[in-house]
A and B are shown apart, each in its own frame.
Chain A
Amino acid sequence: MRIAVCVKQVPNTEARLRVAPDGRWIDQEDLSLILNENDTYALEEGLRLAEAHKGEVVVITLGPDGAKEALRKGLAMGAARAVHLKDDGFLDGDASAVGRALAAAVRHVEADLVLTGSQSDDVGYAATGSIIAGELDWPHAWLVMGLEIASADAGQATVVREMESGMNERAQVPLPAVIQVQAGINQPRYASLRGIMQAKRKPIDVLSPADLGLDASQVGAAGSRIEIVDVAFPDSGAGAQLLEGDDAAQLASQLVDKLRNEARVL
């Protein structure tokens, strides 16, 4: 069983963000980049399946040179090898363009199962995994909180999917399939020191659109149907009364006063 786990490197949104000079994205200079949270869970789920069924995980990403750090993390956690879709032509794609390229990479590595996060923490389209499935004509399941595959040749997976208002759906999905994992499905492992050392010797295949049989017009910005015009901070605290200061006790007593005499909830 060969499991492709598609991951993405994203800005750490805990950091202080600034709009880039061209106004079309945030300034990523000096910004720490991390592995997308849901993708970490997808990696862990893939590694557990590979360990249970004598399979291997191939971790795949699309992104600039620095995105190889996301691959290194996957390799350090236990993936066997990695594929980096690295070419200027791949960049700035929407979900359809990125999904098309990743699906071609999945075909390239001849995977039997695809795992990925249900949503990215940067653009948050929540669509890329579904698009990969559509390109491959495989079934998919989004927002998966539980995944069971009885054996390498089981032919189907049982998934538990989140629905709204605290309900879960249990369903059977024929394999091969694309499973879009939700945070909380497992407890992702930390890479061991040994894992980090071994990762340095594991292969990373770097592929271009041409390597995947894709035309430049099918990928990246050229292959996309939507583009970001500009980004901006919303009016922060619109409507909120903000209390600021260094003295916690003073802030607390101001707040109690407001809750008592203004909002009248105390």
Chain B
Amino acid sequence: MGNDVWVILQQREGALHRMSIEAIGVGQKLAATTGGQVIAVLLGHDVGAIATTVAAHAVASVQVGDAEALADYTPGGYRRALTGALRDAAPTYVVAPHTYQSVDFVPRLAQAIDAALVPEIIGIEQVDGETLFKRPILGGKLHARVRVKGEGTTVVTIQSGAFSASDAQKGDAPASIEALAMPAEIASDRTIVGIEQVGDDDQVDLSKADVIIAAGRGVGGADKMGPIEALAAALGADIGASRPVIDSGWLPRDRQIGSSGQTVAPKLYIAAGVSGAIQHLVGMKGSSTIVAINKDKSAPIFNVAHYGVIGDLHEIVPALTAAIEEAKG
């Protein structure tokens, strides 16, 4: 059993996912508790340029698993590529970003190496010499602190934005880039047929909007969208929505904001009846001014809002429209 920390980076088509650097920062933090080294691991085909970028950080080495079978991500391919190496190295921790790609393969990788799995951590605490991981539960309404039992490797995935990429320390000199031995056969159990953009070409581009009114589940129905539209008209705003609104068919899918929709950063973002699941928050928390209107004071949206109005949106939104019209004179 080593005391190192392995960090699994994410790339697609030669571009490093920004959360890979956040993961390196967490790896460095955990390595400080184990006294071990940080090993960055990159899978793909012809990904040398990314390896060079990563090597600028304070890591012991960048291990590159290069194989044609890894050119496209597949869960079976990634799992089989890493199982042997992780079994041999037996690191204390493995860190990966909690992205859609990682969540697809990391649980089975953890299972394959008999590791404990702590998904979607947002914090790390040392309590009486023990490492506890903080993670959201119940849609982010509460946080749980979790401990790992037993011996062996622990795999953690980190929530998007919970740790800052700027916390990842750069090295004094570039780290060495080494080839990670790959198994002869990296068979996948999934055949990728194609990658496609959701929606058609003329979809709404919310990323350029100055003001966005986001409708949430609390709006209550497609027939109750009128006050939201009136507020948007008063502000010259675009209308967006959280996922439940889209899934219920109240608004078309090209209005969805969040991890599986658009990422936006307007000057003003008004969330009406949006509870604030993390999948929504990652798509809008970069907005300059965030207003949340929700009758539930414990809704996670209030954790990212600058201004919160606690009340029934069906009363507040029309009142807000009237107040804005009045202010305009």
Nearest B-chain residue to A229, judged by Cβ: B145
Nearest A-chain residue to B320, judged by Cβ: A252
Check A234–B303 contact: CB distance below 8 A: yes
Check B311–A251 contact: CB distance below 8 A: yes
Q: Chain B residues near A139: list those with CB within 8 A.
A: 75-76, 189-190
Number of interchain pairs (Cβ within 8 Å): 261
Q: Chain B residues near A232: list those with CB within 8 A.
A: 142-143, 145
Q: Chain B residues near A206: list those with CB within 8 A.
A: none
From 225 to 266 in chain A, residues with beta carbon under 8 angstroms from any chain B beta carbon are 225-245, 248-249, 251-253, 255-256, 258-260, 263, 265-266
Partner of A168, one of B198, B259, B306: B198
Contact flag A127-B119 (CB < 8 Å), given A166-B198, A265-B268: yes
Stretch at the interface among B42-50, B84-92, B170-178, B292-300: B292-300
Check A123–B137 contact: CB distance below 8 A: yes
Check A252–B196 contact: CB distance below 8 A: no
Check B247–A183 contact: CB distance below 8 A: yes
Nearest B-chain residue to A233, judged by Cβ: B142
Is residue B324 within 8 Å, beta carbon to beta carbon, of the partner chain?
A: yes
Q: List 25 A-B contacts (CB under 8 A).
A: A11-B138, A17-B142, A26-B138, A96-B117, A121-B139, A124-B137, A127-B103, A134-B112, A140-B75, A161-B104, A166-B197, A170-B192, A225-B149, A225-B154, A226-B118, A229-B145, A230-B144, A231-B144, A233-B298, A236-B297, A236-B303, A242-B302, A242-B308, A251-B319, A256-B323
Rounded to whole Å, the gap between the CB of A101 and the closest CB of chain B is: 14
Partner of B324, one of A17, A235, A266: A266
Q: Chain B residues near A162: list those with CB within 8 A.
A: 100, 260
Rounded to whole Å, the gap between the CB of A5 and the closest CB of chain B is: 19
Q: Chain B residues near A237: list those with CB within 8 A.
A: 297, 302-303, 305, 308
From 94 to 109 in chain A, residues with beta carbon under 8 angstroms from any chain B beta carbon are 94-96, 99
Contact flag A143-B307 (CB < 8 Å), given A11-B138, A242-B302: no
From 126 to 182 in chain B, residues with beta carbon under 8 angstroms from any chain A beta carbon are 132, 136-150, 154
Nearest A-chain residue to B119, judged by Cβ: A125
Check B189–A248 contact: CB distance below 8 A: no
Q: Chain A residues near B311: list those with CB within 8 A.
A: 244-245, 248, 251
Q: Chain A residues near B189: list those with CB within 8 A.
A: 139, 173-174
Is residue B101 within 8 Å, beta carbon to beta carbon, of the partner chain?
A: yes
Is residue A131 within 8 Å, beta carbon to beta carbon, of the partner chain?
A: yes
A13 and B140 CA atoms in complex are apart in Å by: 10
Interface string of B102-117 (1 = CB under 8 A from A): 0110011011100111
